[in-house]
Structure 1
Amino acid sequence: MSFRRIIFWTHLVVGVATGLVIFALAFTGVMLTYEAQIKAAFDPSVAPTADYTEMMSADDIMKIAQPAFPGETATLNFYSDASKPVSVSAGRHEAKLIDPYSGAFIEADSNPTEGFFGLMENIHRNLAMGFDSAGSQMVKISNVAFLFIILSGIYLWLPRKWKWSFIRQKIFFQKMPTAKARDFNWHHVFSFWVVIPLVAVVGSGAVLSYQWANNLVFAAAGLEAPQGRGQGKGMWAKSSGGGTSSLPAEQLVSFQSILDKAEGVESNWKTISIIVPASDQAKTVDVLIDTGNGKQGATQQTITYDRESGEVASVKGPDEMATPTQSLRRYIRFLHTGEVYGVIGQTLAGIASLACLFLVWTGFALAWRRLISPLFRPKAKPTLSMR
């Protein structure tokens, strides 16, 4: 058996064995493509009322937010969109919304999309069987298996004869005489046009699935791989620890004044996050200014303000805000969703997931015709020759 046939049969067997799980991952991947934007569209909005006509100061909101996550590094997030509530968060999924007019916490279940996206994420991560379950292991195995399917598929896609007539059938949809020929054409065309985003999405998924894969990537980058699951109380939410001021809290520069200064740093800011200080008399306060979607390290900077003078104590650009290991870990995490490249990246990841559905379907159809259909074909009866 030739090397190409060995690769082909391995590609086919692995695809059939993991196809249903891959289909589930691709389907939920499509559903989760614009999760952040859809959730934001259904987030509760805030506006002045007859009872609360003015927005509270950042200092008053800080007093409300400080007890929200005791003992954790939390951030108080203000948005350029004035209709969005202020949020206090400690990690990706731990956040509480505050109405900046009344100061009341907004119930978390007020977003009707929360349950749907929660279900999609559970299926995507562990087939809705729970953390560290058999479903979780199946997802991890299927991630690595799918990466093999893609890489072996690249090899099998290469035409044996580099002629335009052969190549055209593998990069453009053609009108085919049979269903088998159509599926063969679609399988190659879809894989050709999405191979780059697919490698990025599935490869990062494999790295997130297994520590050994994580180790390989970080070793290739010349870095020490982080061990274990990230505790994730905000990858950048870390106070610089400027100590405690000898001045009483009421003599320190207000958080509102610091927020006003931060708003003037970047005219196109989207989010300004104040790292909640552990003490009312903290000498400095760290403010993260984000002009992107919150997942792109290159769009963020941290400014440390001296609360005694109100002056800038230090500025950290994207390259200084995290170690190379932290930056790579963050990049891999949001490469999987495409969010590291903004809306364009999300869209490409979603298109790749959608194409996957067709790849699984056409792959199963081709495997059925090769392996199962022949079993049901009537065998030709031998003919008797007359002598």
Structure 2
Amino acid sequence: MVRTAGTRIRRILFWAHLSCGVAAGVLILVMSATGVLLTYEKQLVAWSTAAMSASDSASGMQLFMETIEGWHRRLGGEPDSMRAGLLDLANLLFVFILVSGLWLWLPPVWRWQVMKLRLLLRRNYQSSKQRDFGWHHVLGIWMLVPLLLIAVSGVVFSYPWANQLVFAAYGEIPPARRGPPPAMAIAAAPSQDRVLLPAAAAAPTPGQQARRWLRFIHTGEVYGLPGQTVAGLASLAACFLAYTGLALAWRRLVLPRIQPG
């Protein structure tokens, strides 16, 4: 009875996992590919502008990164456009795909002969289907934690309710959204010229610290260059997860209908 219930739950999760993957797979691939390109954005922009004076226009690298970032965040659309909304939804589905994928990854039998197929890549596979299955399981489990951190933090950026949950976890109310935060305060000098002075900033609350941590865990910058590298590799793995997932879905759902016999 317990096994039957477990099998039923697994079947439901499998089809939900597959359906969400088919619905959001292409958009997840776009987010992941652009995420790879943005891995070392900070360093590349700094390097490309190092020799430019303050009066020079933005470097080609900076403009390129801004374009890639626009596609990564909004699918090339405006912040409140349908494109941006679809991308946000795809990322939310990605969180479910990752969590359900962990359940589906668990092998029916805990033996090394079975486990190693889900933990280690092989040099040779008997078929492209077996290869895609292997890559999907191996990359999925090894990159699960960084991908979950990236995807969940992305949900916090996209949805006010998710942002509110971060502050609610610390018993706080999220600060009201304002215009560009004043980095400097304006004071009047005896000469009547306007002098810019650093604005005094209150110590961040635990909720604000958590929100800031999520901001930089998304890019891996919270752990410096190694963190950025892990985030970039996770994004690259997500590209393969999206591709192999769509390929496996194609073989299951479409190929039997178009192949004769």
Counterpart residue identity of residue 332, structure 1? L
Any residues of structure 2 matched to 1:57-68 within 5 Å, and which? Answer: none
Which of 101, 107, 110 in structure 2 is aligned with 1:159?
A: 107
Aligned-partner SS, 2:219: coil
CA distance, structure 1, for counterparts of residue 108 and residue 175 of structure 2: 43
* 1:347 is aligned to 2:229: yes
Give the corresponding residue for 1:178.
Answer: 127
Measure, in 2, the Cα distance between the counterparts of 1:225 and 1:351: 32
TM-score, L = length of structure 2: 0.88
* SS of alignment partner, residue 279 of structure 1: strand
**Superposed displacement of residue 11, structure 1:** 0.3
Alignment of 1:66-77 (within 5 A): none
1:114 aligns with 2:62: yes
Q: Secondary structure at the match of 1:45?
A: coil
User: Unaligned stretches of 5+ in structure 2?
Assistant: 1-6
The structure with more strand, counted as a fraction of residues: 1
Distance in 1 between the 2:49 and 2:172 partners?
39
Q: Please state if 1:35 is matched with 2:57.
A: no
Greater CA radius of gyration, 1 or 2? 1
Seq. identity, %: 41
Contact 1:331 1:340 in 2 (8 A): yes
The equivalent of 1:201 in structure 2 is: 150
Distance 1:335 1:232 in 2: 23
Match of 2:172 in 1: 223
How far residue 157 of structure 1 moved from its aligned partner, in angstroms, is: 0.8
Residue 15 of structure 2: aligned partner: 9
Counting only pairs closer than 5 Å after superposition, residues 1-387 of structure 1 correspond to structure 2 as 2-45=8-51, 97=54, 106-109=55-58, 111-174=59-122, 175-228=124-177, 231-233=179-181, 237=183, 279=195, 286=198, 321-379=203-261
Q: CA deviation at 1:328?
A: 2.3
CA distance in 2, matches of 1:336, 1:37: 16
Deviation (angstroms), 1:364: 0.8
Cα distance change of structure 1 residues 337 and 232 upon mapping to structure 2, 3 Å threshold: farther
Distance in 2 (alpha carbons) for counterparts of 1:108 and 1:371: 51
Question: Which TM-score applies when normalising by structure 1?
Answer: 0.60
The letter of the residue matching 1:135 is R
- Code of the aligned partner of 2:258: F
CA distance in 2, matches of 1:138, 1:361: 19
- In structure 2, how many angstroms separate the alpha carbons of the residues matched to 1:286 and 1:115? 29
Render the CA deviation track for 1:363-384: whole Å, top value 9, x for unaligned: 01110111111112333xxxxx
Letter aligned with residue 355 of structure 1: A
In 1, Cα distance between the equivalents of 2:110 and 2:176? 46
Question: C-alpha displacement at 1:345, in angstroms?
Answer: 1.4
What secondary structure sits across from 1:336 in the alignment?
A: helix
Match for residue 3 of structure 2? Answer: none
* CA distance in structure 2 between the aligned counterparts of 1:232 and 1:167, rounded to whole angstroms: 51
Q: Distance in 2 between matches of 1:330 and 1:238?
A: 20
Q: 1:164 to 1:278 in 2, by over 3 A?
A: farther
Give the SS at the match of 1:165.
helix
Matches of 1:180 and 1:213 in 2, distance apart? 37
Please list every run of at least 4 consecutive aligned residues from structure 1 whose deviation after the TM superposition is greater than 6 angstroms: none
Following superposition, the deviation at residue 286 of structure 1 comes to: 4.6
Tell me which residue corresponds to 2:4: none
**2: CA distance, partners of 1:354 / 1:182:** 17
| Equivalent position SS for 2:104 | helix
- Provide the C-alpha distance between the structure 1 equivalents of 2:113 and 2:245, rounded to a whole number of angstroms: 23
Q: CA RMSD in A?
A: 2.5
**By how many angstroms is 1:238 displaced?**
5.6
Between the aligned partners of 2:138 and 2:194, the Cα distance in structure 1 is 56
Q: State the one-letter code of the partner of 1:18.
A: A
Give aligned pairs, total.
253
Whole-Å separation in 2 of the counterparts to 1:41 and 1:6: 50
